[in-house]
Chain A
């Protein structure tokens, strides 16, 4: 069974630009979550989607948005990029239910210059 796939693996953008990251969950997993990982803040929750609906949202500004498609694939978008947005963005998928742990992809490394 293929794992969580994230594209692209690496991205370099300039301040003020926008970026879209993509995530394909494990087959059969309908919940997709996004996390930001930085050396200073660690792993921080961005948002979680299920059945094309955002169920939970972390404490990030509105420049961070996401969506989920009917095939459970998800995208996240960051507009008006800032230097502080440089991070590893991790997508995770799970089956539905509390006893369904998250399985992570290898992330997209975003560098903002």
Chain B
């Protein structure tokens, strides 16, 4: 089945630093999504990407849909303490409405 490799598994950074995380897949996806999950809550959608090569920003967040359609990255600039959480990538392929999720990147920001 489809698998997503998300890296890194965890990151410890200082407030103000930039962060980068990425996902790679063995399969092609038509849509890439990035979610953030805080403790005790469900994942919240950050950015949705629908076209190969697409670069999209949402405030301090920037994500790109890889040209091969098998990868995506998320950058967070000038990190702040509230950026702490688990970030998930998810891919969706074809007419199958199922999302395949990465294992997540745990981000810790030291003030």
Contact surface of A with B, Cβ cutoff 8 Å: 4, 6, 31, 33, 35, 42-43, 45, 48, 50, 55-56, 58-59, 90, 92, 94, 98-99, 101-107
Given contacts A4-B42, A98-B30, A106-B42, whether A55 and B97 have CB atoms under 8 Å apart is yes
Can you name 20 A-B residue pairings with CB atoms under 8 Å? A33-B98, A33-B99, A35-B99, A42-B101, A42-B102, A42-B103, A42-B104, A43-B88, A43-B101, A58-B98, A90-B42, A90-B43, A98-B50, A99-B31, A101-B33, A101-B48, A102-B33, A103-B45, A104-B42, A106-B41
Residues of A within 8 A of B102 (CB): 42
Query: Distance in Å from the Cβ of B52 to the closest Cβ of chain A?
Result: 14
Query: Quick check: is B92 within 8 A (CB to CB) of the other chain?
Result: yes
CA of A98 to CA of B50, assembled, Å: 9
CA of A94 to CA of B48, assembled, Å: 13
Contact A98 B43 (CB under 8 A): no
A contact patch SS: strand
Residues of B within 8 A of A50 (CB): 97
Q: Which residue of A lies closest to B1 (CB)?
A: A59
Q: Which residue of A lies closest to B6 (CB)?
A: A42
Given contacts A4-B42, A102-B45, A104-B43, whether A48 and B31 have CB atoms under 8 Å apart is no
CA of A10 to CA of B42, assembled, Å: 14
Q: Which residue of A lies closest to B96 (CB)?
A: A56
CA of A42 to CA of B90, assembled, Å: 12
Query: Quick check: is B95 within 8 A (CB to CB) of the other chain?
Result: yes
Query: Distance in Å from the Cβ of B101 to the closest Cβ of chain A?
Result: 4
Q: Which residue of A lies closest to B102 (CB)?
A: A42
Residues of A within 8 A of B45 (CB): 101-104
Residues of A within 8 A of B111 (CB): none
Residues of A within 8 A of B90 (CB): 43, 102
Query: Quick check: is B11 within 8 A (CB to CB) of the other chain?
Result: no
Query: Distance in Å from the Cβ of B28 to the closest Cβ of chain A?
Result: 14
